Amino acid sequence: MLYRLLARARYLTVVPVLGLLAACSSLFVMGGRLILHQLWVAVNIPKGQLTDNPILPTFEVESLQGINLMLVGTGCLTLALGMFSLFVQPLRLPSSFRVGNFHELKGQFANYVILAMAISFLENLTHLPEMIADRNSNGSELFFSGAGMALVTFALLAFKYWGGEKNGAGESEE
């Protein structure tokens, strides 16, 4: 009886998979709406106002935010498909979504986190003119933001490449 209960407990993984799919769907919708709105703005800018237009800085930021939302949604989708494939039933997936173990799945998700942080840093760079104009700012905010993201990126990459699961001989499995 305990064996059957434990064997069926793997289906509990469906709950977070459904949650990740719901998050993925909402992120895709929100990112798609932002990108479509920016496309609408770009199409409706009068021809004579393409340069020195006050809309352009917000256009860049909102486009990056839309891309970031889509990227995080793709990370959630990858995590959901990988968890279902590992714990419930193997799925026939494209090679970019296939994972052989939980460590590979975490490594794939780490890639999305690194890309999302890079886009977030680019969004911070769009505020550079205001930082330069502000007499109380010496640029350290941007430096510390970038340094923090670099440290997290290094930690995620170190985890991905050197934190692999070990086999009986103490070597990384590949």
pLDDT tens digit sequence for 69-126: 999 999 999 999 999 998 888 888 888 778 888 888 888 888 888 988 888 888 777 7
pLDDT above 90 as % of the chain: 25
Is residue 30 predicted with pLDDT exceeding 90? yes
Mean pLDDT, the chain, whole residue set: 82
Residue of higher predicted confidence among 174 and 152 = 152
The structure's pTM equals 0.75
Residue 87 to residue 82: CA distance in whole angstroms:
8
| Of 101 and 26, more confident | 26
Domain count, the chain: 1
Question: Which pLDDT does position 50 carry in this prediction?
Answer: 61
Q: Is residue 169 part of a domain?
A: no
Nearest alpha-carbon partner for 116 in 31, 54, 18: 31
The answer as to whether 93 is a domain residue is yes
Whether 158 and 119 have beta carbons less than 8 Å apart is answered as no
Q: Is the Cβ–Cβ distance between 38 and 63 less than 8 Å?
A: yes
pLDDT score of 171 more than 50: no
23: in domain: yes
Name 103's Cβ contacts closer than 8 Å, sequence gap at least 6. 163, 164, 165
Residue 174 domain-assigned (yes or no) = no
Q: Specify if 144 maps to a domain.
A: yes
Residue 154 lies in a domain: yes
Residue 173 lies in a domain: no
Does residue 170 belong to any structural domain of this protein?
Answer: no
Domain enclosing residue 34, as ranges: 2-162
pLDDT band at 43 (very low <50, low <70, confident <90, very high): confident
User: Residue 161: which H helix or E strand, with range?
Assistant: helix 140-162
